[in-house]
Amino acid sequence: MAKQYTLLRLTPGPAEARFGITAAPMAVIADYRGRVTVRRVYLRDEVNAASRRLKDLAAKFDRRAAERPLTEIPDWAEDVVAEGGGKVMAAFLEKVHPTSGREPRRGPKFADLVALYGKIDRDYEKIGLATNYIAALKDRRTANRKDVKAWQAEAGLLKEMTFCVNDSVKFAALKACGDFLPVGEIGFFPERAARKAENCLNPNVLLCRAAEAVGKTAARLPADAERDDRRAVLRAVPFLAEILTREGRNNGACTLARKSLESVATATGEPSVLTAYLACFCTTEGETEWLAKFTTRFNLAAAEWLESVTGMKFGPDPKAWSGWLKSVGSKLTWDRKRGVFRKR
């Protein structure tokens, strides 16, 4: 082994907690300061092949970079980065972005936290900061936020964390975005899903979290929402419809996309969303018996929702749904008091 070069063979616990990768037989290469230089080293072959792999990695190891000092964690951030520091992070956010009163003139600012997140060298410290930040945002109310700039700044850091080296942090950050991002920023989720394969071991899970977040964001659209927010929510419809038409019904992303599209329909009351929704379903014709079971179950769940928002009794056959929609035509409207679509 070369000097300054460390091979870490990981077990499930430390792997997730410190380096953000899945369990053995995967390993990582880190310098002696704890900075990960090669994130995924598979050692599944026989011993000689694994030895050649490690020898090649050792030859490519950047010893000059290993000599570079670590980014120093300032005193004010030690507890913010430490594991289990969610309450400390919440107190810090309340101090730099108070829900009432003015921001302090002295001491660390929110911009310092953002800069620190970008500079941290060791993965487990970055994961710790992100985990604490996500936990702290759960207690910060998004409704009636007067300081819009502060809200957008906090949302911006949360969006950046959806690209964290750790998959679990990515997914947790996306889930938190659904509860925290301003409704007008709902377009972030289709954009993030388009890059789902970047540095991600589980891109389908990321797709699921993005689809789910659209629905959670749409559900927060107020009845008197601004026109721009309503339009932003409606622009997310093609993203959800694409998942429903592209993915197999045994993929969890389909269920989450269906539920989110239902949230968009009830939140906006737009008949066009219902039309797009009905166009995403198919019959079991030509499907194998195994897949047909998923399709039937999926269609029954959709029929149950349709009954709740139309008052009509539907079975699992999408052709009957389309026939009803054609009979109603352009006379369909949303009754906000009753929470149903009805014929004018």
Label residue 50 exposed, middle or buried (CB < 10 Å: 0-12, 13-18, 19+).
middle
Of the three residues 66, 81, 103, the one that is the final residue of a domain is 66
| 175 vs 250, higher pLDDT | 175
State the residue for tokens 């994961």: 127
Q: For residue 33, is pLDDT > 90?
A: no
Q: How do residues 73-100 score in pLDDT, each as one tens digit?
A: 999 999 999 989 999 999 999 899 887 7
The CA distance from 48 to 134, in Å, is: 44
278 neighbors 332 (Cβ within 8 angstroms)? no
Cβ-based neighbours of 9, under 8 Å, separated by 6 or more: 24, 27, 43
Which H helix or E strand runs over 6?
strand 5-9
301 neighbors 249 (Cβ within 8 angstroms)? no
How large a percentage of the chain has pLDDT more than 90?
A: 45
Amino acid at 6: T
Q: Do both 139 and 259 map to the same domain?
A: no
Closest residue by Cα to residue 19 from 173, 118, 124, 161: 124
Mean pLDDT of the chain: 84
Q: For residue 31, is pLDDT > 80?
A: no
Q: Which of 2-11, 161-170, 203-212 has the least mean pLDDT?
A: 2-11
Closest residue by Cα to residue 217 from 287, 258, 264, 272: 264
Q: Do both 265 and 199 map to the same domain?
A: yes
Of the three residues 148, 181, 214, the one that is the final residue of a domain is 181
| 289 vs 130, higher pLDDT | 130
5 Cα distance to chain centroid: 34
Give the Å distances, CA to CA, from 105 to 26, 75, 95, 97, 102: 47, 18, 11, 12, 9
Q: How do residues 326-337 score in pLDDT, each as one tens digit?
A: 888 778 888 888
Q: How do residues 248-306 score in pLDDT, each as one tens digit?
A: 777 889 999 999 999 999 999 999 999 999 888 887 777 788 888 888 888 999 999 99
Strand-pair partners of 145 = none
* Residue 194, pLDDT score: 96
210 neighbors 170 (Cβ within 8 angstroms)? no
Q: What is the CA radius of gyration of the chain?
A: 24
Q: How many domains does the chain have?
A: 3
Residue 184 DSSP symbol: G
Helix spans in the chain (H): 12-14, 47-60, 63-66, 78-81, 86-96, 110-119, 123-137, 148-161, 167-180, 188-193, 203-218, 227-234, 237-246, 252-268, 271-278, 289-310, 318-328
DSSP string, 148-179: HHHHHHHHHHHHHHTT-SSHHHHHHHHHHHHH
Q: For residue 12, is pLDDT > 70?
A: no
Q: Which of 18-27, 88-97, 237-246 has the least mean pLDDT?
A: 18-27
Q: Do both 161 and 191 map to the same domain?
A: no
Write down the pTM of the prediction.
0.83
Long-range CB contact pairs, 328-337, < 8 A, 24+ = 332/271, 332/274, 333/271, 334/269, 334/270, 334/271, 336/223, 336/269
Q: Do both 176 and 189 map to the same domain?
A: no
Q: Do both 226 and 283 map to the same domain?
A: yes
Mean pLDDT of 59-82: 83
Q: Do both 89 and 171 map to the same domain?
A: yes
Q: Do both 212 and 290 map to the same domain?
A: yes
Domain that holds residue 11: 5-66
Q: Do both 298 and 339 map to the same domain?
A: yes
Cα-Cα-Cα-Cα torsion 168, 173, 178, 179, nearest 10 degrees, comes to 110
Residue 141's pLDDT band (cuts 50, 70, 90): low
Maximum mean pLDDT: which of 219-223, 322-326, 332-336: 219-223
Q: Do both 203 and 237 map to the same domain?
A: yes
Of the three residues 181, 209, 233, the one that is the final residue of a domain is 181
Tokens encoding 272: 């066009």
Q: Do both 213 and 310 map to the same domain?
A: yes
Q: Do both 55 and 75 map to the same domain?
A: no
Residue 45's pLDDT band (cuts 50, 70, 90): low
* Residue 10, pLDDT score: 46
266 neighbors 216 (Cβ within 8 angstroms)? no
* Residue 16, pLDDT score: 46
Q: For residue 104, is pLDDT > 80?
A: no
Mean pLDDT of 198-216: 93
Q: Do both 171 and 320 map to the same domain?
A: no
